[in-house]
Structure formats: C-alpha cells, structure tokens
Amino acid sequence: MRLIDADELKRVVLRAFPPVAYDQALLVGRIIDRMPTIDPVKHGLWIEHKGGDDYIGYPIYECSECGYDAGETATNYCPNCGALMREDGEEG
C-alpha cells in the first residue's frame, strides 16, 4: 500500500482539468473525499527516568509522545496515546 496526500491530489486534479471540465474535476474531488483514510501509526520511545527520593533501582518510564507515566512497566505500546514503542535499533 502507498499512502498519498489526498488534499494535494485534489489540488492537482482541479488544476489539471481545463476550466470547461470543472464539473468533472469536482466529481473526481468528491470521489477522492470518499476514499477511506488510514491513520499513520504513531511511534514513540519510553524515556527512562532514574533517581528521585524514592529511587530503589527500578527506572520509571515516560511516553515520548504524550508524557504518560507508565511506572516501572515498559509495554510495547503506550496505553494512553497508543504509540508503538520502538525496539532498540529499529528505524522509523
């Protein structure tokens, strides 16, 4: 699958059609508007915090995307904002 910018596609279509074909261009624009949208997957990182007054050796994890405090448990995704947490060395 290839994700494209639907709004930019509409602008290009409206410019590409000659003025006499404006109704067809609007129709194509309406078809583009009816296409399903896919939310891009948000990625984040657990920011490790160590220290503090009650530090007993376990880091506290904070979501890099929303600041959610996950306590001592670094899950695969943020339970607050849904960001997928990158593995070490993973690109993205």
Binding site for Zn ion (CB under 5 A): 63, 65-66, 68, 78, 80-81, 83
Q: For residues 5 and 87, which CB has a smaller minimum distance to Zn ion in the complex?
A: 87
Q: For residues 28 and 45, which CB has a smaller minimum distance to Zn ion in the complex?
A: 45
In angstroms, give the least distance from the CB of 58 to Zn ion: 20
Q: Residue 61: how many CB atoms within 10 A of its CB? A: 21
Question: Which alpha helices (DSSP H) does the chain contain, by range?
Answer: 6-16, 22-34
Q: For residues 25 and 45, which CB has a smaller minimum distance to Zn ion in the complex?
A: 45
Q: Judging by beta carbons within 10 Å of its beta carbon (0-12, 13-18, 19+), is residue 25 exposed, middle or buried? A: middle
